Amino acid sequence: MLRILNIDKPRGWTSFDVIRWARRQFQEKKAGHLGTLDPLATGVLPVFLGKATKLISLFNEQDKVYRATVHFGIRTDTFDAEGQILAEWDPSPVNEKMVIEWLQRHLGWQDQQTPVHSAVKLQGTPAYRMARRGEAPELPMRRV
């Protein structure tokens, strides 16, 4: 039997917390997921158990939809709500039209500098751990 679960990841859990939970619930050693949701994010995390993990690559290229709440006028060192605030400014010049135009320019695949506070591993260590130790790892550009 192939098991593919759509699990609603709660805020505060890592994607691996969801995998750990699914392994226990279904007594399965092998498990994987599509993409990684940040601990602050909630939403559907597709989880593949057992032999279904071989199907992950087939699903990985499919379109995904994200919904977010954004607060303008704040920049943090981690690019999310958990980081230290580095700058604040008046966001009132930003309007809906400007946001829509910006979003339209950023549809599709983009090359992006990987943030230092990311789960991308360098020599087996997640970049965010290095960043928390005060290190500044050099990370590659990624297609997102």
Active-site hit among 8, 17, 38, 63:
38
Q: How far apart are CA 70 and CA 56, in angstroms?
A: 30
SS3 55: helix
pLDDT, residue 36, reads: 84
> Which comes out higher in pLDDT, residue 128 or 50?
50
Distance (Å, whole) CA 77 – CA 82: 9
The three-class DSSP label of residue 130 is helix
How far is the C-alpha of 83 from the C-alpha of 115, rounded, in Å?
Answer: 12
Residues, the chain: 144
Q: What is the pLDDT of residue 137?
A: 87
Q: Is pLDDT of 61 > 80?
A: no
pLDDT at 108: 86
- pLDDT of 74 > 90? The answer is yes
Residue 109: name the closest of 58, 60, 143, 67 by CA.
143
pLDDT tens for 97-142 read 999 999 999 888 899 888 888 888 888 998 888 988 989 888 989 8
b/e map 36-57, b = 16+ CB within 10 Å: ebbbebebebbbbbeebbeeee
Residue 38 known to be catalytic: yes
